[in-house]
Structure 1
Amino acid sequence: MATAGIIVALGMAIFWNVYRMKEAAKPVTAKKIILPPFFMSTGACMYIIPIFRITPMEMLEAVLVGMFFSIFLIMTSKFEIRGTEIYLQRSKAFVIIIFGLLALRIAIKSYLSSTIDYGQLSGMFFLLAFSMIVCWRIAMYFSYKKMERKLLEA
């Protein structure tokens, strides 16, 4: 079961990097920044099933770790103006950070799996990922709006 999770996580990391490289060739819009967390939020339906529910302390831990991890994504997400449009700058550090976060996630998950139930652990890691992405996207949105104001002033 753990091996399948690692393979899926690795596949998602590869997909994310390829997707980001392709997206860097297209102009960014506020909608493209805001929508992914909304789509991901449907995953919170997992908490309807009791096995995935987490305690308030586990919730706090997951959110705080997610917020901390988002700092690394925020640092590698910069925008640039090309002509009359805003683009996301490509960053080699982003690839390294995504795979680094993946390795850290796998290590933490395997360590915690001996003390926390699999369902609760899944709930915690969903919340960790969700809070990381929400923080990252909020920061991206504000950065995008700043660039948009610069573009309008020019």
Structure 2
Amino acid sequence: MDFWQWYVRRGRIDRRTWWLQYALPIGVLSVLALMADVALGNSSLESIATGETGYGPIVTLVGLLALPASVSSGATRLHDRGMSAWWLLIGLVPLFGQITLLVLTGFLRGDGGPNRYGPPPSAAPTAGPYLQPEPAPEPDRPPYWG
């Protein structure tokens, strides 16, 4: 996957792709950014937990950089279920909406066949040009021994 494909997705992605290429990296980056902010003294875990202060500049920057990828991956994951990207707005409802969106994108299986957003992600070709089977030898020629 190239850099721009992480930010702008089209079509559909399956659960495995969503977890391994979006949710896990964004989660790890968020934790590392929080640790960096705490180590640099920009914020403390106690003040964040009690709501006294906001997040530090590193967490804010990582969050802003990850937002387009998060929206793009959520939309394409919802497309895999045959749902519109407008369903992402349910995540704005505190707690209930965020849990619902996590279940929809991370745990429920997508449509088995094609839908209005394209073919299923598993229908993509899995064999490259070097993995194609060798053609059968012509009947009038001996097999290649090289």
TM-score range, shorter chain: 0.3 to 0.5
TM-score (norm: length of structure 1): 0.32
Rg larger in structure = 2
Higher relative contact order (CA 8 A, sep 6+): 1
Structure having the higher strand fraction is 1
Structure having the higher helix fraction is 1
TM-score (norm: length of structure 2): 0.33
